[in-house]
Amino acid sequence: MVQRVFLAAVLLVVALAVTAHPALSAPASGEAVYQKRCAACHDSTNPRVPPRDLLKKLPAARILRALDFGVMMNVASPMTRDEREAVAAFLGIAGRDAAPSPKNYCTDRNVNLTNIPKGAWNGWSPGTENNRYQSRDAAGLTADQVQRLKLKWAYGFDGDVNAIGAPTVIGRYLFVGSAGGAVQALDVRSGCVHWIFQADGPVRSAILAVPVDKNSSRHALMFGDLTGWYYSVDASTGRLLWKKRIESHDSVRLTGAAVAYQDMIFVPAASWEETRSTNTDYPCCTFRGSVTALRIKDGSQVWKTYTIEEEPKELKNPNAVGQWGPSGAGVWSSPTLDVKRGVLYITTGDNFSSPGTSMSDAVAALEIKTGRIMWAKQVTPNDVFSGACTTKPGGCPGPDFDFGSSALLLKLANGRELLFAGQKSGVVYALDPERKGEIVWQTRVGKGSANGGVQWGMASDGQKIYAQVSDVARIRRGNADPADPNTSNLDPNQGGGLTALRAENGEKAWYAPPAPCGSKPGCSPAQPGAVTAIPGVVFSGSVDGHIRALSTDDGHVLWDFDTVRSYETVNGVKANGGSLDGAGPVIVGGMVFVNSGYSKNGGLPGNVLLAFAPEN
């Protein structure tokens, strides 16, 4: 706790040293930034601010991790990557964190992955339709067994305060990334370590296993990091095969898992430039969302499609949002594959600066072979929103109603196929892929807001669509401490809720209200994370730290586990649970895997992966 406070204090000051447009910036000097922005506090005797001598005892890697996706991510988001690295190197001890103890490794460190068995959870969803649904055989769980789930093992992410990586489970092996950039290959039954690969940045995206080529039984693991690098790693050993920089923009974020078809993978790209532009010295904004097709064998580019065709230009209109535009329309989620029609479906985010474009806040179809945009259906026009306008009188033109979750492709009982997309507006849409995304029905399931509505993922069992909402609310603090990056508390009485919609017409089958927090400190009933379904059961996580299993018949709770506690981990790392957000539960072969810990947006920190199995 003390170390977290120290890091928060130093990095809050460091975050003030934000440079101008990345293309125009000189290399950052950590010492210069410190002298200009930090020395007045950290060379003083203020008891709430750690002195420089104490900061020098922290590993630089840990300081950088706190900036990238740790306790300081909200404050550090406006900073360039160069500034983060420079400050961390100046303040901290050189070198990476210590390697795991040999006793944490499995007896056999190799991973014998020669095929992808049926029912594996490979990537964001078990299937490329992104329905986040496991059949009875693949799940290995019944509704009765779910009620007897018990914690089997816990694995701690060393030095992290967020557990952000979406697990991939294939046979005996679990692959998961971390906020510290470590990708772990674990044994499903025991949690022992086969190997660890260190990426250059935090790894949030789900990992996708693919054959290296069609004539080989050797598999590669494909994933991106939050600094824009994309990797291919040998599944057996963790050895790097290749890595590519997907976008040159230094604000790129690779959050959505790739999907594969034949010899290609398709990688979506989003950005944190929207938040970075809260700095008034930053000439917002120049990032454009994209999907890139890469060859699996070597990472060479086949095609790239931007969600905004026009390159950003300097804006001359004094009433425009930002100094450059158009920008934004990032792709935060995994593409949805439709082999029958030969297309990929993507969902897009808002615009960061003027002018608004036709591909923001949209569901779009891209031709698999060429990346050509076949059609796009925009549901919220002119949604221009970023730090460049949030502090201006009148605010932003748009409400920040991104699509952060993947579209679901579903074949109904009558044979008709529809796409389903949940938006931060709190509305779920059903679209017709045969009619260029024509809206068939739309149903409101939440209030919607910049951090509300459907955020990271819905699920479907073929009859119902399960959509949970964030709708997180905050209460601003009075007389906030300037050394504390959090200026508000989560509202314990607002947010959350899970709705089951009938797929054919959008009617509400049932609604499960959020569980109240009461007086629990730091609690919110919001439910922004992805949901997961098996026959008879839908699993839902909450910012309050609970993972709950609900009946798909009427929404009543079958099982409830509070993850907010400390754990004895199989790898000996001190670990605690926290808020559940982002990646949803993964269910394979009679086990349920859940990440716990997500301090972004005011949630509870944590650094643990939990594995559950039914008690006999």
Read off the pLDDT of each residue in 330-349 and give the average, rounded to a whole number.
98
Q: Would you state the pLDDT for residue 534?
A: 98
User: Which among 25, 37, 9 has a CA at the least distance from the CA of 80?
Assistant: 25
**CB < 8 Å & 24+ apart, contacts of 182-190:** 182/157, 182/158, 183/207, 183/221, 183/223, 183/233, 183/238, 184/155, 185/111, 185/235, 185/238, 186/155, 187/106, 188/588, 188/589, 188/591, 188/611, 190/106, 190/153, 190/570
pLDDT digits (tens, 9 = 90+) for 359-386: 999 999 999 999 999 999 999 999 999 9
Contact status, residue 226 vs residue 255, Cβ threshold 8 Å:
yes
Measured distance CA(487)–CA(476) in Å, rounded: 6
Tell me if residue 216 falls in helix, strand or coil.
coil
The count of other CB atoms within 10 Å of the CB of residue 573 is: 20
The per-residue pLDDT of the chain, averaged, comes to 88
Cis before 285 (ω within 30): yes
45 pLDDT band, cuts 50/70/90, is low
Contact status, residue 483 vs residue 9, Cβ threshold 8 Å:
yes
Identify the weakest region by mean pLDDT among 14-18, 171-175, 591-595: 14-18
Q: Is pTM, for the whole model, over 0.75?
A: yes
pLDDT digits (tens, 9 = 90+) for 237-274: 999 999 999 998 989 999 999 999 999 999 999 999 99
Measured distance CA(149)–CA(152) in Å, rounded: 9
Measured distance CA(79)–CA(20) in Å, rounded: 10
Measured distance CA(152)–CA(491) in Å, rounded: 33
Q: Would you state the pLDDT for residue 533?
A: 98
Please report, to the nearest 10 degrees, the dihedral formed by the alpha carbons of residues 384, 386, 390, 393 taken in order: -40
Q: Would you state the pLDDT for residue 591?
A: 98
Q: Would you state the pLDDT for residue 223?
A: 98
User: Which among 153, 134, 18, 159 has a CA at the least distance from the CA of 86?
Assistant: 18
